[in-house]
Structure 1
Amino acid sequence: MAVETTAERTRATPPSWRMVTAAGVGLLMVLLSVALFALVAAKVDHGREYTDAPVCPAGGTPSDACTTMVPATVVRTESEARGQGQQIYLHVRERGGERPAGRGTERGAGPGTEQGTEQGTEQGADDVRRVRMDDRHPRPVFDAARPGDTVTLTYWRGEIRTVSLDGVGVTQETHASPANDWRLPMADGLLLMPPGFALLWTTWWYRFRRHRRSRVDPVPWPPAVVLTAAAVLACVGFVACMAAPGGLAGVLVTTALAALPAVGLGFLVAWWLRRRWRRAAADTSGIVPVRPTRKRCLRAFVRGDVPYSVEGHAYLVVGDGCPATTPDPTGDLDRRSLSSTLTVLDVRPLLPEDPDAWTRAYQYRGVVIECHDGGERVLIATRRRDAPLILGALV
């Protein structure tokens, strides 16, 4: 008798649509994250242009290559609810008309519009600027500023990019500052890449490594740990990008430091899921006999030293006279009737000593009906949902 090797069994088993779908989703997530990381590089370069820009010479003409410092006085602060969050604004009055030439508005919000102005002239007060601030915490300038306080506005390319609170030594970026433009694409990239690679690795494992295991495991350790760790890393990376202070290096270090705890959490989740599966599989108290009202051909294996235990007979016909085993899914060919002396003793879950074919067929969704026929022990393995009908036909 030829023994089927692992490689032969793998080649003979085509990938299921679930595997193909998971691999496709994982590949798409990885490609999207790569594109987002490429955008991050461009955003970081743009932000570096601003942070490295020198201060324009005093009395010179402002240009895009330098920044201009303009003193101003705080008029008031404003917080405006938008959806689940809020937008914060600082109203300031610049001193002596020192505003540099430029666009003067941020992203299409022109001065004098009734709502949505981020950097523009407040209605009814030509010398008051409404500046939208970066609403990420901490917000040192917005939280500490009071009417009458003196601030310094940093202009770059015609827009206010940074506000410094004089005498306190705190600085806060505005919504127009390019210093933090890398955060959103970086957060989205970190949210997509770990789960994407985890899905690709898991489909590879199920396709090529699972067959090396002698028994089917309802919750295999490797996929459970990898998927959980990837989900944790994705969440940590996203939160670090959007909420944590510091630059890109700090976000990467924070995400890297979370790797080991994420793996540990993955082991805990896998252990909990395996324990839950085993408890559910061991509970057979809800399986009670239900008498079949019509002919049914159910998937079942009968094992024992009896005439109706035949190799290849993987179905049991009930509801059509005496229960019988058959190799025919329709239940019409080569039927071998079960003995009338067959007595049901117990219903139990699948055990490690049961044949591997039973575990592979039902994947811990099966049960075993233990019976006695004269002096022989007979086992009937079937799906948990079919067991009541088989019990009803035997009792």
Structure 2
Amino acid sequence: MGVLLILLSLIPAALCYVAFAAWLPADRELYRDYRAAEPCPTGATLQVGSDCLSTWPFTVVKTVVKNGGRNPTYEATLKDEGSWRGVVSFGDPGPLLDRLEPGDRVTATLWRRGIVVLSKDGVRQNSSDAPRDELQMNAALGTLAALLAAQAFTFGAVRLLRPRDYEPFTWNPYGRRQLFTGIGVSFGVGLPAVWIGIPWWTVPAVAVPVVVCTAALMHQSLRPRAADGV
């Protein structure tokens, strides 16, 4: 079991590396490129200047606004004057999507051949394809992966070093409490960081010490019970 836990710890460790070394930098560069993009030259076609911002008129075919449930859906089906027809997804219904009706004429902003903004009568809404400056959530997921890797490695190492006396390094209650603490703290720090707009690196800087201190306190509270054989 100790060897298995150590081997399993390599999976979240790899995910942590990907999150901080590849995913986060890629999203940061994508957002920077989007913010730096300029309008396409007058007369540019949809196939030219994909790194610039172009605007095109479309007609709304239908909209889907499904709130609640496990899979909320916010979509607008659009068509152009030719044969193109496509679906644009959104993260929420407002401020534009829930106002649209079939037959409405809208203006779509395209970047790198994806619709990033839909607008009508001065009301604009970003689509799900629009790059966002939400690196705090990348950091939250990477931090959670690091915490899971550390937990699995620690539990596995203790079982190898103390095969007959590894309490309280078991799933119930210590491991389970650590897992839920890591999830709660990672997202409890990451989500407010997105809303407030503080730098992404504050997420691991705050979350890791909090989880480590909490784990140490839980360990101290469980040691007497383990010593009594509870």
1 CA distance for matches of 2:104 and 2:220? 58
Identify the match of residue 65 of structure 1 among 40, 47, 51.
51
Match of 1:163 in 2: 118
Is 1:153 matched up with 2:92? no
Q: What is the identity, as a one-letter code, of the residue corresponding to 1:160?
A: I
Is 1:90 matched up with 2:76? yes
Q: Residue 199 of structure 1: CA displacement?
A: 2.7
Q: What is the identity, as a one-letter code, of the residue corresponding to 1:141?
A: P
Match of 2:35 in 1: 51
2 CA distance for matches of 1:88 and 1:73? 17
Match of 1:193 in 2: 146
Give the aligned CA root-mean-square deviation in angstroms: 4.8
2 CA distance for matches of 1:87 and 1:243? 24
Structure 1 spans left out of the alignment, 5+ residues? 1-17, 105-110, 112-119, 121-129, 211-215, 282-363, 366-395
1:15-60 deviations in Å (ceiling 9; x for gaps): xxx2212211112321233234444033443343333211113334
1 CA distance for matches of 2:225 and 2:66? 47
Match of 1:390 in 2: none
Q: Residue 86 of structure 1: CA displacement?
A: 1.8
Q: Where in structure 2 are the equivalents of 1:110-189 lying within 5 Å? A: 111=85, 120=86, 130-135=87-92, 140-142=94-96, 145-147=99-101, 152-164=107-119, 166-167=121-122, 171-179=124-132, 188-189=141-142
Q: What is the identity, as a one-letter code, of the residue corresponding to 1:158?
A: R
Q: What is the identity, as a one-letter code, of the residue corresponding to 1:30?
A: A
Q: Residue 276 of structure 1: CA displacement?
A: 5.3
Does structure 2 retain, via aligned residues, the 8 Å contact 1:69–1:152? yes
Identify the match of residue 12 of structure 2 among 29, 33, 36.
29
Does structure 2 retain, via aligned residues, the 8 Å contact 1:237–1:251? no
Greater RCO (CA < 8 Å, at least 6 residues apart): 2
Q: Residue 37 of structure 2 aligns to a residue in which SS?
A: coil
Q: Residue 260 of structure 1: CA displacement?
A: 4.2
2 CA distance for matches of 1:181 and 1:258? 17
Q: Residue 38 of structure 2 aligns to a residue in which SS?
A: coil
1:290-349 deviations in Å (ceiling 9; x for gaps): xxxxxxxxxxxxxxxxxxxxxxxxxxxxxxxxxxxxxxxxxxxxxxxxxxxxxxxxxxxx
Q: Residue 202 of structure 1: CA displacement?
A: 4.5
Does structure 1 retain, via aligned residues, the 8 Å contact 2:5–2:156? yes
Does structure 2 retain, via aligned residues, the 8 Å contact 1:226–1:263? no
Is 1:273 matched up with 2:219? no
Q: Residue 72 of structure 2 aligns to a residue in which SS?
A: strand
Q: Residue 154 of structure 1: CA displacement?
A: 1.3
Q: What is the identity, as a one-letter code, of the residue corresponding to 2:151?
A: A
How many residues in Structure 1 have an aligned counterpart in Structure 2?
222
Please give the TM-score of this superposition, normalised by the length of structure 1. 0.42
CA distance 1:142–1:252, shift in 2 (3 Å): farther
Does structure 2 retain, via aligned residues, the 8 Å contact 1:72–1:153? yes
Please give the TM-score of this superposition, normalised by the length of structure 2. 0.65
CA distance 1:193–1:263, shift in 2 (3 Å): closer
Does structure 1 retain, via aligned residues, the 8 Å contact 2:135–2:200? no
CA distance 1:260–1:33, shift in 2 (3 Å): closer
2 CA distance for matches of 1:144 and 1:80? 10
Does structure 2 retain, via aligned residues, the 8 Å contact 1:192–1:234? no
Larger helix proportion of the pair = 2
1:143-189 deviations in Å (ceiling 9; x for gaps): 76355988642111332112356545xx5432333447979876654
1 CA distance for matches of 2:158 and 2:28? 37
Is 1:219 matched up with 2:176? no
Q: Residue 161 of structure 1 aligns to a residue in which SS?
A: strand
Q: What is the identity, as a one-letter code, of the residue corresponding to 2:114?
A: E
Q: What is the identity, as a one-letter code, of the residue corresponding to 2:36?
A: D
Match of 2:186 in 1: 237
Q: Residue 249 of structure 1: CA displacement?
A: 6.4
Question: Which structure: larger Rg?
Answer: 1
CA distance 1:235–1:272, shift in 2 (3 Å): same
1 CA distance for matches of 2:187 and 2:59? 36
2 CA distance for matches of 1:253 and 1:150? 43
Larger strand proportion of the pair = 1
1:266-293 deviations in Å (ceiling 9; x for gaps): 3453355346557xx4xxxxxxxxxxxx
2 CA distance for matches of 1:151 and 1:243? 33
Q: Where in structure 2 are the equivalents of 1:292-307 lying within 5 Å? A: none
